Each structure stands twice: as structure tokens, then as C-alpha cells.
A and B are shown apart, each in its own frame.
Chain A
Amino acid sequence: MEIKIKKEKQELPIKNTAISRIFSYKYNINDHDNTLNEVLDSQASIEVDKLPIIIDPKCRIGIEVEVENIPSFNDNIMYSWQLHDDSSLRNNGREFVSFPIYGQQIPLSLALLFTNILPIGYDFSKRTSIHIHMNVRNMTPEQVAAFVCLFIVFEKLLYRFVGNNRDKNIFCVPLYETQISNYILEAMNCGFSNVRWYKYAGLNLLPITTQGSIELRQLHGTDDVSKICTWINLLQRIRLHAMSRSLDDILNEIRDLNTNSQYDFFVQKIFLSEARFLSFYSLVNDMESGVTCVKECTLNNKFHQLVLSKIVIESELVSTIIKIQNKNRIGKNALSATPTEQDVGFISVTSTIARPENEQTYLNNNWTISDGPVEVVLSPQEIRR
């Protein structure tokens, strides 16, 4: 008799399951495809030949363009764009958000926005920026984590490409200046469903749960279609590499970089023809810290855990800590350096400024104003508040 062994269908771990199977999204990314293609093809006024080529024609991208000085605009030909309010902008600022577009729809939609929709005199002030949403619904959490790790390695190079001191901006903080990349493996293992992340990181993972995309916030406001498309192509190169190998392979590649110093080769390997847009001027410095950052955030530090499990009160460190703590018990701030009365204590200094006409504001705030030159004195409670 033939015995049939029933094989149980083994479920994939969540980190190897497509994002689209982990989350259910209200919005179908194909919804606007047919109309978009027809309408964009009919835009005879745009010189299609001169538009940059998008290297991954299948990867869907959402683009958010913040722009100021838009008292009115041509809303008859919005096609791939929707209008969103943005309270962070001034001077009739608006945010134009694209549908998830792909391939040549991307440069065409951008050209359409800048040449036909926006009015003359639109302004990309320092408050404006362009955010790229990259579709990750067809990626697994492991591939997204690989993307993040590769992104960290090249982050300084990418900020250098973007320019405009965007690495100093508080609305797109580089991962290498924060500690949040330490959460990447934890986020991957829970399928990004409970991710500890922050919207104003340059690379924002929060939209994975709501839109199935990751947001890249680095680019400043610009109407340079070539620069925007090059930026998208650079990101797509990282994405393609992240999808072509396992996370372990990518991490091994990254970990070896500081030993073999083949930074140049690695950049060429990932970015191919787009490598020419990146600055090789301080490549080693720029990439070394990224590599170290990836090592740190993907390390399971057993030695640290071992030390923590063997702490003894008689040890030199612990006895020093206790000695310092007892010595500073009154000050309280020996190790923690939290503000104390001494820190906040103040001497009032008479300034040389002229006496302003309207003193009501200060009086309302219970500040003391003496005759003659103004002397502004706040109480310690006021200072703390």
C-alpha cells in the first residue's frame, strides 16, 4: 500500500512575506493607470525626447511637491496630481501630490506640473521640499531592511548629491545623526506592523503601514526635472540591489567594506551609470561611518549582555559610581547632568537697548521693567516654564 505523506504547507516567516500580504490598503495603486497614460501621451507641448529616463520602469513612485506663491493654478489639467493643504508653507503655499506613477509617467508628470499647472512666479523657498514615496508593497520586510541598510551606507553621499544643507534640516534628519536605525531589525521581524520610527527622519518607514510605501524626504524644493529624476534613479538603484540579494548577503558585503576598502567598487556596483552623479571627493569618510552604523544596528552584542549579567557591587566601576553619587547627592546632577537650581540661577543684567513704547506685553507676563534702560527680569519659575 502506498502511504501518502501529507505535507503541511509551511508558512513563510513574516519577514519573507510580501508587504501587500501583511497589510490591507484602501487605495489600489493601479486605479489611475489607463487615464494617466492616455492623458500624458497627449501632452504635445512637452518635449518628451528631452526628458530623463527612469531606470526601473516598473517601480511606482509617489511624489509630493511643496511649492509657495501659488495664488491660483491650472486645475483643469491636474491629471496625475492632487492638491493637499500644507500648513508648514507660507505665502500661498500648496502641496501637489501625484498618484503612484511609474516609468516615463514620472518625468512627464513633473514637466506637466512645472510648465502647465503652476502659475508664473511660483517659488521653491527654503521651506519647501520634494518627498518621494517608493512603493514597497511587492517587497518583503527583509528586502525593505536591506534597502534601509544600503541607504545608511550611502546616506552621506546622497545628502551630498541633494545639497542645500538638507542634512541640517529638522524635517529630514539623517539616520546617521540619530539612533533610530537601531530599530530596523526589530521592525523587520514584526513585519513593520509596530515600527518605532519617526516621520521627520530623512527616510521615513511609517507609510509602510498606511500606503505601502517608504518616504524619502531629503530633496529640497526644485523644478529641475533632471535632478528629481536622477534622485529617483539613485533610490531605485538601491532598491534593485536590495531586491536582488538576501539581507545576509548584503550585510556581509557591507561588513567587509571597512576591511577591503572597496568603497569605490561598491558604489559602482550598486549605482552603475548613476554613480557619476555621486561625489567621490570624500568617499571613504562618507561611507565608513555608514558602514559602522549598519554594523551597530544589526549587531547582536553578546559581550555587552554578558557584562551586564555579571555586574558586582564590589567592582571598580560600581564603587566609583556609588562614590560619585553619594558625593553629589545634594547636587543630584553628578552623572545625569539635569538642570538644577545652580544651573538655572540668574543675575539680572541691564541691557543697553532703548525703552520700547509698548510695555504692556511684558507687564502682562509679570516681568519687571525698571526706569531708564530696560532691565528684563524673569523669575526662576518663569525661566523653568
Chain B
Amino acid sequence: MAVNEFDEFRKQYEKTFIRIKFENTNVYKVVNILACISDDEKNPYFVIHNPEIGQCAIKWNDTRQSLDYSFPKVGLFNHKHGFLLFHRFPERQWKRGITSANSHIGNPLWSIYTRIPDYRRLNFEFPSITYSVLESAFHGYYPTNIDDAIYEIESESICGVCINGTFGITKNPMLQKEYLFWKSLSIIGTVDVRTRTIEVIEPVFRQEVQDFLKRKQEFDWKLR
């Protein structure tokens, strides 16, 4: 075993998140690499943690093929009561696994939180990189169409849903009944369920929305 390779692994991935494929379930799970131990040069191992499986030590030699070092896809993803934005961050550091030094989670609704009267009392916390956030980002669940997205927003206690990695819909923070249509972190239009119309107020994104409706085959939604 090349100790150098394990040493590189330690430098680049210790105290970061990666994904491991577990044999019994055959699915990838996000784990935090707590420590890499190479005192026994023939059989180095690393200690991982995940809320579901707890904490365990894993042999390096046997599991190298099961490790996935990739980042989640950059863009919007649904998480708990709304949607968040995953993007990379080019800061100087050695870590290649996912960590707050090279990845950021943005909350599109943050600009709205800060405008709510007495918002400090509500104790919002800035989104950060955790197991559950990363699982959501990797899993990338999106409703199949706009109607499903609206249904989810209406039937559950959630603020909004993203329909793909680019567009999202939220309830309205103004008194109007229309939903808001988002592109990444920006509000670009409204969604009127009664007239089944998406109004793109920012004209530069009209073509993108039109392409989106066409690709999603949302033919009964009109674009204004």
C-alpha cells in the first residue's frame, strides 16, 4: 500500500464530507471523515461518522473503490421547508472533500428573512454544510411539474419548492395571491394558478423560462 497515497487522502479529506457506498444497502451516504490513522502502515484506516450509522472505522485498502469524492451538482435543491443553492467557493485550502472552505450553501429566502419586522427574534441561522443538507443536495429531488410543486407548497407547511436546479416557486411575501417565480437567488416573475400564467417581469430571462416550459412539456401554462 502506498503510504503516500493515504497521506494525501488524509491531507485532502480529513474533517471533510465525502460519500461512501455501503455494501449492504448499495447506496451512497454522506459521511464526515473524522480522522485518518496510518500508524499501522500495512493497514491504515479512517474514522467516519454519519447520523444513521453512527461512528465507525473503515479500512482504507478495502474501501477505496467505494469512495465518491464528487461535489453535488451546482444549483437549487429542495431541503426541508424550502430550497437552497449549492455552489463552490474558490478559497485557498488543501481540502478536496466537501467543506465550508470550498463549498457554500445559499438560501434564496435569506433576503426576505432580513426584511421581516423584528426578524432577529425569529433566530434564523445561515445555512451551512451538514449531513442532511448534503444528502438533499446529492439526492436532488424535484417535483415532476409545476402543478406538483404548487400542490406541495399548498398542502405542506413549506415556503417554496424548486422545480429543477435553476427555477423555484415560493409563496408571496406581499399581499398578492400569486406565487413568486425564482431563478437561483433572484425573483424574476410571478405564477398565477387561476389563469395558469407565469409572468416573467425580468425580460432577459423570458427565453430561459420559455425553454424550461418547453422541455418540461408544460404546455398548459402560459408565459406572459
Binding site for B on A (CB under 8 A): 168, 170, 173, 176-180, 198-202, 255, 258-259, 288, 292, 295-296, 299, 301, 303-304, 307-308, 310-318, 320-325, 327, 329, 332-339, 342-354, 356-358, 361-362, 365, 374-378, 382-383
For residue A300, which residue of chain B has the nearest CB?
Answer: B202
CA–CA, A347 and B54, complex, Å? 4
Decide: A258 and B207 in contact? CB cutoff 8 A.
Answer: yes
Decide: B171 and A317 in contact? CB cutoff 8 A.
Answer: yes
CA–CA, A307 and B112, complex, Å? 9
B2 CB within 8 Å of chain A: no
Contact of A332 among B37, B105, B125, B188 (CB under 8 A): B125
Decide: B90 and A201 in contact? CB cutoff 8 A.
Answer: yes
Known contacts A315-B172, A349-B54; decide if A338 and B127 are in contact (CB<8 Å): yes
Decide: A314 and B175 in contact? CB cutoff 8 A.
Answer: yes
Decide: B45 and A353 in contact? CB cutoff 8 A.
Answer: yes
Per-residue CB contact flags for chain B residues 131-144 toward chain A (1 = under 8 Å, else 0) read 11100000000000
B197 CB within 8 Å of chain A: no
B1 CB within 8 Å of chain A: no
Contact of A378 among B34, B39, B80, B159 (CB under 8 A): B34
B25 CB within 8 Å of chain A: no
Known contacts A311-B112, A311-B174, A315-B175; decide if A376 and B122 are in contact (CB<8 Å): no
Residues on B with beta carbons closer than 8 Å to the beta carbon of A288? 211
29 contacts across the A-B interface (CB closer than 8 A): A177-B87, A179-B185, A198-B91, A299-B204, A301-B202, A303-B201, A308-B111, A310-B174, A313-B117, A315-B175, A317-B159, A320-B159, A321-B113, A322-B116, A323-B157, A324-B158, A327-B157, A335-B81, A335-B82, A335-B124, A335-B125, A338-B127, A338-B128, A343-B132, A346-B54, A353-B59, A365-B35, A374-B57, A378-B35
Residues on A with beta carbons closer than 8 Å to the beta carbon of B58? 351, 353
Decide: A334 and B81 in contact? CB cutoff 8 A.
Answer: yes
Decide: A303 and B189 in contact? CB cutoff 8 A.
Answer: yes
Decide: A376 and B81 in contact? CB cutoff 8 A.
Answer: no
Determine how close the nearest CB of chain A comes to the CB of B154; give it in whole angstroms.
10
Known contacts A178-B90, A304-B186, A333-B125; decide if A378 and B172 are in contact (CB<8 Å): no
Decide: A318 and B173 in contact? CB cutoff 8 A.
Answer: yes
Decide: A337 and B157 in contact? CB cutoff 8 A.
Answer: no
Contact of B171 among A308, A312, A320, A329 (CB under 8 A): A320
Known contacts A177-B87, A303-B188, A338-B125; decide if A347 and B55 are in contact (CB<8 Å): yes
Residues on A with beta carbons closer than 8 Å to the beta carbon of B207? 258-259
Decide: B187 and A312 in contact? CB cutoff 8 A.
Answer: no
Decide: B128 and A339 in contact? CB cutoff 8 A.
Answer: yes
Decide: B125 and A376 in contact? CB cutoff 8 A.
Answer: no
For residue B50, which residue of chain A has the nearest CB?
Answer: A346
Within 8 A of A (CB), among B75-131: 79-82, 84, 87-93, 95-96, 102, 104-107, 109, 111-113, 115-117, 122-128, 130-131
